[in-house]
Structure 1
C-alpha cells in the first residue's frame, strides 16, 4: 500500500472514532511523527479517552486514563 492510501486509512480510522487504530497506522507509516511530536500523540490519546467517556464506557475509560 502506498503512502497516500495509508494516509487515507489513518484519516478514515480517526474520523470514525477509531483513534487507536489511527495511531497504530501512523506509527507504521512514519513512526518519527509520533516520537517527535508528543503533543500530537497526547491529543490523539485524549480524543480516545473522550470517546470512551462519551460512550459511557466508564471502566474502560478509567483503565485507559490510568495506563496511558
Structure 2
C-alpha cells in the first residue's frame, strides 16, 4: 500500500488526518469525500471546508470509512 499524502496543493508530506466532507448541492447526504491532511495543513483544510458548510467529520488517516472517497 502506498503512503497517504496530504491533499494540500504542493504538499507531499504524509497524512495523519482524514477530513470527511460532502457538498450538499452535489452529493447525496450519505456520500463522504475525503481530503487527507498532514499536521501542518489540517487546520487550513478543515477551515476551508467548514467555511462552506462541507466538513462532516475528522478522523485519523488510518480510520477512513469503507466506501468514502
TM-score tier by shorter-chain length is: 0.3 to 0.5
- Specify which structure has the higher proportion of helix: 1
More strand, by proportion: 2
TM-score, normalised with respect to structure 1: 0.34
Which structure ranks higher in relative contact order (CA pairs < 8 Å, sequence separation ≥ 6)?
A: 2
